[in-house]
Amino acid sequence: MSTILEAYLQNEIALKRYLRRFIRSREAADDLAQEAFLRAFAAEAGRVIESPKAFLFKVAKNLALNELARQSAATIEPLGDFEGQEVLEDSSQAAVDDVVDSRERIRLLARAIAALPPQCAKVFILRKMQGMSQKEIAARLNISVRTVEKHVAVGLSRCRAYMRAHGGMADEGRGNSPVLERVSTSFIPIKKAE
């Protein structure tokens, strides 16, 4: 099992609590924790992580700082009067089943990526988790852009099949689990907060 995956599973509650120091919304902190795991997991594919827990928390802190910077840069628009009572509802409380289900999907995704052929997994992680362009990946790995495209397509297809075979697909009609859906779109690489 991946050391990052182990660190995430052992420290998930502490990581989310840590993120809530930066981001007050429980839902946003949960999303950032998953994003931190995915990015740390992707980074682990390229090198050995000596202190996986510390690395995971560092990635999470960078993501939280980036989110805070993004929020502070956004323009503030005045709120009008609220018509309904939905404002009083607490939508940040995630159901326990959702948390458990989310952890299982992350675990399945990590296993699916680990089951890919080594070169395919490397290309898939660089493209889908680190947000590198196909040209950048081709130059870095000394392969053609077409080969990069094939590896990404195979990786996505095999990850979907793995998730489906192991019960990780949230909605058969949609074709993707929420975790795989996030991987299906390119992530923006981590930027240092200034």
173 pLDDT band (50/70/90 cuts)? Answer: very low
Let me know if residue 91 belongs to a domain: no
Q: Which range marks the domain in which residue 28 is found?
A: 1-73
Let me know if residue 127 belongs to a domain: yes
Examine the domain organization and report whether 43 and 101 are in the same domain.
no
Let me know if residue 23 belongs to a domain: yes
Examine the domain organization and report whether 122 and 162 are in the same domain.
yes
pLDDT tops 80 at residue 85 = no
CATH number at residue 56: 1.10.1740
Let me know if residue 81 belongs to a domain: no
pLDDT tops 50 at residue 150 = yes
The token pair at 86 is 């939905």
Examine the domain organization and report whether 51 and 119 are in the same domain.
no
Query: How many angstroms separate the CA atoms of 45 and 24, rounded?
Result: 31
Give per-residue pLDDT as tens, 127-148. Answer: 887 788 999 999 989 999 999 9
Let me know if residue 1 belongs to a domain: yes
Query: How many angstroms separate the CA atoms of 38 and 36, rounded?
Result: 6
Examine the domain organization and report whether 172 and 116 are in the same domain.
yes
Smallest Cα–Cα separation from 177: which of 167, 185, 169, 165?
169
CA dihedral of 54, 44, 156, 100, whole degrees rounded to 10 = -30
Instruction: Check residue 128 and report its DSSP letter.
Output: I
Q: 103-122: string of b/e by CB count within 10 Å (b at 16+)?
A: bebbbbbbbbbeebeeebbb
Instruction: Check residue 88 and report its DSSP letter.
Output: G
> How many structural domains is the chain composed of?
2
Let me know if residue 157 belongs to a domain: yes
Query: How many angstroms separate the CA atoms of 83 and 16, rounded?
Result: 33
Cβ-contact 64, 32 below 8 angstroms: yes
Let me know if residue 83 belongs to a domain: no
pLDDT tops 50 at residue 176 = no
Mean pLDDT of the chain: 77
pTM (predicted TM-score): 0.49
Examine the domain organization and report whether 106 and 68 are in the same domain.
no
Helices (H), 47-194: 52-73, 96-114, 118-124, 134-141, 145-165, 178-184
Examine the domain organization and report whether 43 and 111 are in the same domain.
no
